[in-house]
A = this chain, B = another copy of it.
Amino acid sequence: MTEIYSRVAVIGIGLIGSSVALAARRAGVVGHIVGCDSDADVAPEVKRLGLADSFTTDAVAAVADADLVVMSVPVGAIGALAERIIPAMKPGAVLTDTGSTKRSVIRDVTPHVGDDIHWIPSHPLAGTEHSGPAAGFPDLFNGRYWLILPGGVPEAEVARFESFVTAIGAVAERMDADYHDKVLALTSHLPHLIAYTIVSTAVNLESQLKNDVIRFSASGFRDFTRLAASDPVMWRDVFINNDEAVLEMLQRFSEDLSDLQRAIRWGETDKLESLFHRTREIRRSIIDAGQS
């Protein structure tokens, strides 16, 4: 494929950062890849896994001459990072992030962006419960949505960035920040919050019962433990930075849960059965939409 960006800096070499590097390299759409992580221990991993052409722990040095800068750090750290690196960026370069919340990232980054930088917040809907440089793989984005928030950036630059995410396997989709945070609150943040909660409920059980919950986990609980094994710092930041939408969806969820709880307590069989028929329809819609 033709080169889309000749020099790319990936800052934060975790699951997403390393996958971006691997996928971009494989697609042949980038020239030099600079890997950057504040943790110096990541350097040997980056070398061993062939994640980047060069590596530095200095984010300011990393962005020099880069045509595309990808910030793949927890959302709570993106603002301070942007503030440091933007003055060192090449005029005309594209700055993006891969964070799971968008209103907070835009709030934290935008004040530091000058006229000569194209700031395109984005969010790939891809991930696993694993984290760290070794967790990345080049197929991570295959067929997955990559949400893009173009703001006031010139169309040519947005289209170029879209061609980059398409080249690494993703399906580009434009969205605004408010809507993004609301949709993700329900599709991703609330499910993770609930998974963390139920696993935490198990953590608090007396030890024999806890051991047997682990042993017999295959009947539903195990699916939750996978979500609840996701990166703790990343998720701490997501909940804190999308608190408004998460708390709103959580309120709706709690009302619906109380309703079900009451139906169980009072033995309202018809109500339960008809509700369970409706939820089954949603699964069918997802299968029909090819998202299963």
Contact = CB atoms under 8 A, between A and B. Distances in A.
B289 A200 contact: no
A180 to B, nearest CB: 9
Contact of A191 (B189, B198, B209): B198
Interface stretch (A23-31, A42-50, A151-159, A216-224): A216-224
A260 B289 CA distance: 33
Interface string A223-248: 11111111011011101100100110
Interface in A133-156: 144-145, 147
A199 B279 contact: yes
Contact of A252 (B204, B246, B273): B204
Contacts of A198: 186, 190-191, 194, 253, 256
Contact of A220 (B203, B227, B282): B227
A243 B286 CA distance: 30
A257 interface: yes
A277 interface: yes
Nearest to A263: B239
B282 A202 contact: yes
B272 A236 contact: yes
B200 A275 contact: yes
Contacts of A125: 216, 218-219
Given A216-B187, A222-B291, A291-B214, A264 B282 contact: no
Given A125-B218, A222-B286, 15 more contacts: A147-B216, A187-B219, A191-B198, A191-B223, A196-B260, A196-B275, A196-B279, A200-B279, A217-B286, A217-B291, A229-B280, A232-B272, A232-B277, A232-B280, A235-B272
